Amino acid sequence: MRGFVVQYTPTPLPASAPSHGGIAFLDRDGVLNIGSSEYINQPSEFISLPNAAQSVGRLRRAGYRICVVTNQSPIMRGLWDEHRLHTIHNHMRSVFLKSDEDAHFDMILACPHRHRDRCMCRKPMPGMLRFGEKVLRGEVEYPEGESIAEVLPTERDVDWWGEKPIPTHSFDCMVGDRGSDMGAGWAQGLRLFQVDDSKGIFPVIERILESNNTGDVFHPVR
């Protein structure tokens, strides 16, 4: 598989939400659900972290589009395929919406590759984030539903030794539990919020919603 796995299901923001245009990029395991060293292999293994759904709902009510970006190498390891991943993510959607009617994911992107595949979508590379931004901001037309997409050649350059890039939008943020998540967000110039993988997004939600909060300090090579 050359590309990454896409679920694109855009939904209008709640009627009361401001229209600032921000995007919240969220890692999955350790941010939204309890992760496992053996991977989340089927829907029954998905256990959401406390108040994760309510946090996603609050982001949407605050005007954020939600884009999940997750590394899922079990696909290339041959443990299961993208159809199993879609089943897991459909279950995740159902669990979150049952807890909060606004906890909708506009897009879920998953890199299926291993580190040795040297792709441009596996975090800390920012390929999935750049793709998600272009689609959610209407710069690229993309069909709704489930599909496989590829990182564009123009998205391959990252100066890891340089200064943090200027973001496209000052509200945009990356929430993750690992350095690879922070690296992908840093490459896009996003506000960065690193979380405890046992607690997930909830403890940092107030900071994210503060538009003047610049997030955590991070540099990939320092």
* From 29, 100, 102, 106, active-site residue: 29
For this structure, is 27 an active site residue? yes
* Structure-block tokens of residue 15: 């009627």
Q: In 3D, which of 113, 106, 96, 92 has the Cα closest to residue 145?
A: 106
Longest dimension (CA), the chain: 46
Burial of 116 (0-12, 13-18, 19+ CB in 10 A): exposed
Burial of 144 (0-12, 13-18, 19+ CB in 10 A): exposed
For this structure, is 29 an active site residue? yes
**So which residues are the catalytic ones?**
27, 29
